[in-house]
Amino acid sequence: MPDGPIEMSAISRDGHGPDYNDARDDDALLGSDNDVEEASKLVRGEPGIWVWLLVVSAGISGLLFGYDTAIISSALLQLANPPETSPIPALTIAQQSLVTSITSISALISSLGSGPVSEYGRKKAIFAAAVVFILGAVWQSWAQSVQGLVVGRFIVGLGVGAGSAVVPMYITELSPAHLRSRLNTLNTVFITLGQIVAYLIGYWYSQTPFGWRPMFLLGGVPATIQIGLLFFLPESPRWLVQHGYIEQATSILARVYGINQDESNAADRRMLSHLVRSIEQGVRSETELASTTAKWKNLFGKRSNRRALLISGGLQGFQQLCGFNALMYFSSLIYAMLGFESPTLTSLSVAATNFTFTLVSLVLIPRVGKRRLLLYSVPMMAIGLLAAAFGFHNLPTQDVSAIHEEKSAINADPASSFYAYVILFSTTFYVASYASGIGNVPWQQAEFFPMSVRSLGTAIATACNWSSNFIIGETFLGLMDNMGAVATFMLFAVICTVGWAGIYLIYPDTEGMNLEEIEALLSR
Ligand SMILES: O[C@H]1[C@H](O)[C@@H](O)[C@H](O)[C@@H](O)[C@H]1O
């Protein structure tokens, strides 16, 4: 629920960034009456639990994204040491990398393909992703060969990529402006929750022979529940307006904004028609961009769209290149190398910190604003990384190649080394700072694109995420081997510094604006 009057000023909160104050003058987008004030008061109505339930249902895709990307680390521990009766021989290091990275590749492919699919309806695209998740879960769990596993991981990645592009777009299009950031953050809460569940289930089945089969299969359960829930989920009102279903769109918007249409007063009705009209205006350009070629041209030809792409794609790339998933995927190896007794539990702490601080950002984002939160949290990430590099530098022995062997690289009584704890605490600090800002803000990308190119823009920005995710997954162990841990963590700190400068220069404050106002802001 809103905590106070919704923020209608576009001045950057830290007073330094780009000043978009005059963007608000473009009230024409809200209709001819020019009564933004009145509409904004009405926006403070109670949308009720309904919107939250919708987001929870859609957010199951986020849960699956988190689960399926994290479960692989527990499954690999078993697949690398199979029982004698296993039809699949022990996976080599190269096969382990392939089974892990193929998911990022197919997520990259399907995030790009999700643009055209979501043009047929956001709900249909979420449904398609859920079906793919189930197929992938069953395929992986029945695999009888390495090739079978690779195909299963490929299929599940298609679901991950499509869900990761479409669900945030659906949430963005459905949410009232003052709740949009929070509801989108909820989706990231689901991703991080899925990662914790994956670690716990992985731990639960770790001693069961062929425990990797139920680990993979369980991913199908939330997807099945989601298919049931999808029957109750409305289509995105913006998509409905775009396809001429004005009445349905109006009644969904009424529910979203907590207006009972039967008992509504004149002000309510006016506010609703303002909303529908503003969406119609945004949508009108869509009919002019019927072909895919026209959309591509518009995306790259129009200044505001190029800016939207630069901001969203850049932020998505930075979210991955800052190295967070190196910890997510390989923290048990890192902590084993440092000599901690239960590396799986210490790496569960990465997932738990990530989840907890994503919850913190749920509270912080509407209060502090996304821009300010990023500007504060990214330097903290750099500090955490530098402190970790300092810890690695001072370890008694530094044979990082031991990371592959999952055993301690430190001389006698390793975990009692003060510097092992410095690394544990500084990486935890880094994860907390990551989760408070950059871990979820990039997923709020759909708000930057006008309706005419939203699905295409969102798809490309999401693809930036998955391609960078692939780069980190593929290169991290090699970097640790070749450059050493100190240089690797310092490199991530440098990337954070560059990312911070980029955010400072181009990331606008959009808190509380409606989507059409954001479009006006980027056109200036
Ligand atoms: O927003 C999510 C979240 O931060 C996850 O924990 C991470 O694994 C994903 O790569 C990221 O996209």
Q: What percent of the chain has a predicted confidence (pLDDT) above 90?
A: 50
Question: Of the given ranges (149-153, 196-200, 345-349, 402-406), which has the lowest mean pLDDT?
Answer: 402-406
pLDDT tens, position by position, 316-360: 999 999 999 999 888 878 888 888 877 667 778 899 999 999 999
pLDDT band, very low/low/confident/very high, at 35 (cuts 50, 70, 90): very low
Per-residue model confidence (pLDDT) at position 397: 60
In this structure, the number of other CB atoms found within 10 A of the CB of residue 393 comes to 15
Question: What residues are in contact with ligand 1 under a 6 Å CB criterion?
Answer: 188, 191-192, 195, 319, 325, 328, 354, 439-440, 443, 469
More confident residue, 268 or 431: 431
191 C-alpha to ligand 1 centroid (Å): 7
Distance 45 CA to ligand 1 centre (A): 32
Supply the pLDDT for residue 392.
92
Which two structure tokens, joined as six digits, stand for 471? Answer: 């780069």
Confidence bin at 47 (pLDDT 50/70/90): low
Which carries the bigger pLDDT value, residue 8 or residue 285?
Answer: 285
pLDDT score recorded for residue 415: 52
Query: What dihedral angle (degrees, nearest 10) is formed by the CA atoms of 413, 419, 425, 430?
Result: -130
pLDDT surpassing 70 at residue 45: no
The answer to whether residue 15 scores a pLDDT higher than 70 is no
pTM of the model: 0.85
Q: Is residue 38 over pLDDT 80?
A: no
pLDDT at position 288 is: 63
Distances in whole angstroms, Cα of residue 257 to Cα of each of 65, 177, 231, 282, 451: 29, 10, 21, 19, 20
Q: Which atom of ligand 1 is nearest to the CA of 358?
A: 4
Average pLDDT for 35-60? 65
Q: What is the distance between the alpha carbons of residues 501 and 208, in angstroms, rounded to a whole number?
A: 48
Residue 229 scores a pLDDT above 50 = yes
Contact, 74 vs 303, CB < 8 A?
no
Provide the pLDDT for residue 287. Answer: 61
**What residues contact 81, with CB distance under 8 A and at least 6 apart?**
90
Tell me, what's the pLDDT at 136?
97
Retrieve residue 122's tokens. 């956001």
The ipTM (two decimal places) reads: 0.98
What's the pLDDT score for residue 2? Answer: 33
Which of 67, 188, 444 has most ligand 1 atoms within 8 Å of CB, for mutation?
188
- 80 burial level (CB within 10 Å; 0-12, 13-18, 19+): middle
Query: Which of 277-286, 327-336, 408-417 shows the lowest mean pLDDT across its residues?
Result: 408-417
Q: Is the pLDDT of residue 284 over 80?
A: no
71, 293, 349 from 328: Cα distances, Å? 11, 38, 10
> Atom 5 (ligand 1): residue with closest C-alpha?
192
The CA 1 to ligand 1 mean position distance, Å, reads 25
Q: Three-state DSSP class for 264?
A: coil
- Given a contact cutoff of 8 angstroms between Cβ atoms, the answer to whether 420 and 414 are in contact is yes
- Tell me how far the alpha carbon of residue 457 is from its chain's centroid: 15
3-class DSSP state of 230: helix
**Which residue's CA is the nearest one to ligand 1's atom 7?**
325
> Which of 164, 315, 328, 359 for mutating ligand 1's site (highest number of atoms within 8 Å of CB)?
328
Cα(235) to ligand 1 centroid in Å equals 26
pLDDT at position 474: 87
Distance between start and end Cα atoms, the chain: 31
Q: Which long-range contacts (CB under 8 A, 24 or more apart) does 266-274 make?
A: 267/38, 267/42, 268/42, 270/33, 270/38, 270/39, 271/38, 271/39, 271/42, 271/43, 273/31, 274/30, 274/31, 274/33, 274/39
Nearest to 383 by CA among 328, 428, 317: 428
pLDDT at 458 over 70: yes
- The residues, any chain, with a CB within 8 Å of residue 505's CB and separated by 6 or more, are none
**Locate tokens 């008992």: which residue?**
263
Residues with Cβ within 8 Å of 328's Cβ and at least 6 positions away in sequence, in order, are 69, 70, 195, 350, 351, 354
Name the band, by pLDDT with cuts 50, 70 and 90, for residue 129: very high
Q: Residue 242's closest CA among 292, 296, 290?
A: 290
| pLDDT of 48 | 64
**pLDDT surpasses 50 at 386:** yes
- What average pLDDT does the chain have? 84
Confidence at residue 405, expressed as pLDDT on a 0 to 100 scale: 52
Short-list 333, 308, 348, 321, CA closest to 448: 308
Residue 26 has pLDDT above 50, yes or no: no
- Candidate from 33-42, 188-197, 269-278, 345-354 with smallest mean pLDDT: 33-42
Spacing, Cα 66 to ligand 1 middle (Å): 7
Q: How far is the CA of 435 from the centre of ligand 1 (A)?
A: 8
| Helices (H) then strands (E): counts for the chain | 20, 0
